[in-house]
């Protein structure tokens, strides 16, 4: 028996931090360039040739007929670069990333560009019950489990096969009780770069024991170009009349509440920074936007999210089968890592991770993330790029 569970790309890039985030230093801001001067290029592949636990890592490049390029490493299945044209026809790298495997390993749990699993986003108190049995997970995010635990899919070397110039297949066998999750989970992820300038990420998985699955991608975007400065002037529209409020540890309360009359109302286009400093308990809990938005009824042919870079004119439209998306406004970025084009300073990139809802295994009213033997987890998300005329 086959069944699709529409869940994936979460994209909950927010990580609880012990310290408060500060604005980028003036010297770092001076080093940043805008989309008119940035020379975008794919990083040198030599920085991605490494042997980790007996498996070889590489950098794979996809290119479509329009000259759009995507670079992906099989270390964590990470999207390293994505070069798309801006309003002047200049190629801009819209993905924040690093220039080597060593850089990604040093960055640790920032999850830059990574595939996330077995469960994207948070699971409360590092535990859940399934078919009457309680499972205990590693708590790597305060009292909770985030993005799969201590060693999630972002830290493993995936088996890679480049199908053609526009398609990369990644596979991984997540073994029974890896990071505390039951079942041998066989996973296939395909990155495909279309001639419509859409990057499609499709996910498929099967298990030999009842488990929970919520896969996603954790790319950080700046549509003015990685390293170009603040993302607060980007315009965002999200077709979601509701969202899931969270407690102080970013675990959903279990309620689904309307966005109308709150800083979370992006049903009409608004800039990221327009209400991010409002006196609001939910913004205080997230230190900005770090919340799951509940999409209105939609199909994967409807753009449920639109984002426009204020300087570049680049528009990113998101199409997905998923019921929700984690919108993260870069609140915990602290300039701790040297990226491809400067530091990862405060709110210089955002994440939009399509997903089932956080903590669904402990929230019976949320869409189920349970996968049983004989069923197939199957979902896809596309990030499509164009320019505003």
The torsion defined by the Cα of 120, 124, 125 and 128, in degrees rounded to 10, comes to: -80
**CA separation (Å) from 375 to 211, 269, 310, 366, 378?**
11, 39, 44, 20, 9
- 281 included as an active-site residue: no
DSSP annotation string for 173-188: EE-TTGGG--S-EEEE
Q: Cβ distance 190 to 380 under 8 Å?
A: no
Q: Which two tokens stand for residue 232?
A: 């607060």
Cα separation, 139 vs 146, in Å, equals 8
DSSP annotation string for 93-151: E-EE--SSHHHHHHHGGG-TTEEE-SB-SEEGGGEEEETTEEEE----BTTBEETTSSS
- Kindly state the DSSP code that residue 156 receives in the 8-state scheme: S
Cα separation, 292 vs 368, in Å, equals 15
Catalytic residue among 96, 353, 356, 382: 353
Q: How far apart are the first and last CA of the chain?
A: 47
- 218 included as an active-site residue: yes
Catalytic residue among 147, 178, 179, 218: 218
Cα separation, 240 vs 47, in Å, equals 40
- Kindly state the DSSP code that residue 323 receives in the 8-state scheme: S
The 10 Å CB-count burial string (b at 16+, else e) for 39-76 is ebebbeeebbebeeeeeebbbbbbebeeebbbbbbbbb
Write down the residue that tokens 């489990």 correspond to. Answer: 145
**Sign for the pseudo-dihedral over CA of 324, 111, 42, 235:** positive
List the catalytic residues.
218, 353
């Amino acid at each position: 028996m086959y069944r699709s569970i529409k869940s994936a790309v979460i994209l909950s890039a927010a990580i609880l931090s012990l310290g408060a985030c500060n604005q980028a230093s003036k010297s770092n801001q001076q080093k940043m360039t805008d989309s008119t001067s940035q020379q975008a290029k794919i990083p040198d592949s030599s920085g991605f040739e490494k042997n980790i636990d007996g498996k070889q890592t590489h950098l794979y490049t996809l290119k479509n007929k329009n000259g759009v390029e995507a670079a992906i490493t099989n270390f964590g299945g990470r999207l390293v670069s994505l070069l798309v044209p801006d309003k002047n026809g200049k190629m801009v790298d819209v993905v924040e990333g690093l220039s080597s495997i060593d850089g990604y390993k040093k960055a640790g749990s920032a999850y830059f560009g990574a595939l996330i699993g077995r469960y994207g986003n948070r699971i409360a108190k590092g535990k859940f019950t399934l078919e009457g049995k309680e499972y205990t997970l590693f708590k790597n995010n305060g009292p909770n489990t985030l993005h799969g635990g201590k060693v999630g899919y972002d830290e493993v070397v995936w088996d890679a096969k480049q199908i053609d110039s526009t398609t990369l297949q990644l596979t991984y066998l997540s073994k029974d009780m890896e990071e505390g999750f039951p079942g041998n989970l066989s996973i296939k992820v395909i990155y495909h770069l279309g001639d419509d300038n859409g990057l499609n990420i499709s996910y498929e998985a099967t298990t030999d024991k009842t488990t929970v699955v919520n896969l996603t991608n954790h790319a950080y975007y700046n549509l003015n170009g990685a390293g170009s400065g603040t993302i607060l002037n980007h315009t965002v529209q999200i077709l979601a009349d509701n969202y899931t409020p969270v407690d102080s540890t970013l675990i959903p309360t279990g309620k689904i509440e309307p966005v109308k009359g709150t800083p979370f109302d992006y049903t009409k286009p608004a800039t990221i920074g327009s209400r991010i400093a409002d006196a609001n308990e939910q913004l205080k809990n997230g230190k900005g936007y770090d919340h799951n938005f509940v999409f209105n009824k939609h199909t994967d042919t409807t753009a449920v999210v639109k984002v426009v870079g204020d300087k570049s004119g680049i528009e990113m439209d998101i199409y997905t089968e998923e019921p929700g998306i984690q919108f993260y406004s870069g609140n915990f970025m602290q300039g701790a890592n040297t990226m491809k084009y400067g530091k990862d300073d405060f709110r210089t990139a955002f994440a939009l991770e399509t997903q089932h809802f956080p903590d669904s295994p402990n929230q019976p009213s949320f869409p189920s993330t349970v996968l049983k033997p004989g069923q197939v987890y199957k979902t896809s998300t596309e990030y499509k790029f164009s320019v505003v005329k």
